Amino acid sequence: MIEKIREQAKRRTKPYGCHGWDHVERVYDLCCFIGEKEGGDLETLKIAALLHDIARDQRGDHAKSSAKEAERILRTLGFQQTKISRIVDAIKTHRFSGKSKPRTLEAKILADADKLDAMGAVGVYRAAAFGAEIQRPIQSTIDHFNEKLLKLKDMMYTKTARRLAEGRHKFMLAYLKQIEKETKLLS
């Protein structure tokens, strides 16, 4: 069943980019890793990770739109309503800037995994890729670290994610120090 869901999610997701299929796969792997350490329901986590960004290209709140689309897919595949509700809740509440906070362990793990993928070396790559996608100047991309990315470490819900976030946070600080040196040379 996971493979059927993976196929459907992959068809609805760009192959690359800051929210492409490679992002979904990393979030999936992080969910599995954190879920094993924290005792989460791995089936719920795997499905939620695969479907968490399937409506990314739609207008409005992508988490709510993705949750709605995920619910439709899971109903079609014959999942029980209790399982669907847990998966949909995780997707609906995974967003950094969302108003709804995750309540279940699985929702917290998905939110942590998604935030972790915005940190560290991968986070630097994704910030640059996003900046290029929306034609943002380098200084605005650097500002994005202070506005959002450097805050993520303190927003983790699980012990495992907090541990992983430490190293990624340090890497981003080192990166910012280096890019500041390099860009000041040019001014």
Give the lowest-confidence range in 34-48, 51-65, 128-142, 154-168: 51-65
Residue 60 has pLDDT above 90, yes or no: no
User: What pLDDT band is residue 98 in, cutting at 50, 70 and 90?
Assistant: low
pLDDT of residue 144 exceeding 70, the answer is yes
User: Is the pLDDT score of 187 beyond 60?
Assistant: no
pLDDT at site 183: 86
Using DSSP, state whether 137 is helix, strand or coil.
coil
Q: What confidence category does residue 185 fall into, taking pLDDT thresholds of 50, 70 and 90? A: low
The alpha carbon of residue 55 and the mean position of all alpha carbons in its chain are separated, in whole angstroms, by 13
Place of tokens 């942590």: 112
pLDDT attached to residue 47:
98
- Cα–Cα distance list, 17 to 12, 103, 129 (Å): 14, 29, 6
The stretch 52-68 carries a mean pLDDT of 82
Per-residue pLDDT band at 186 (split at 50, 70, 90)? low
CATH number assigned to the domain covering 2-186: 1.10.3210.10
Q: Report CA 51 to chain centroid distance, whole Å.
A: 11
State residue 43's pLDDT score. Answer: 97
Average pLDDT of the residues in 41-62: 88
**Mean pLDDT, residues 79-107:** 90
User: What's the confidence (pLDDT) of residue 53?
Assistant: 92
The pTM of this model reads 0.93
CA atoms within a 13 Å half-sphere pointing along the CA-CB vector of 99? 2
Average pLDDT, the chain: 92
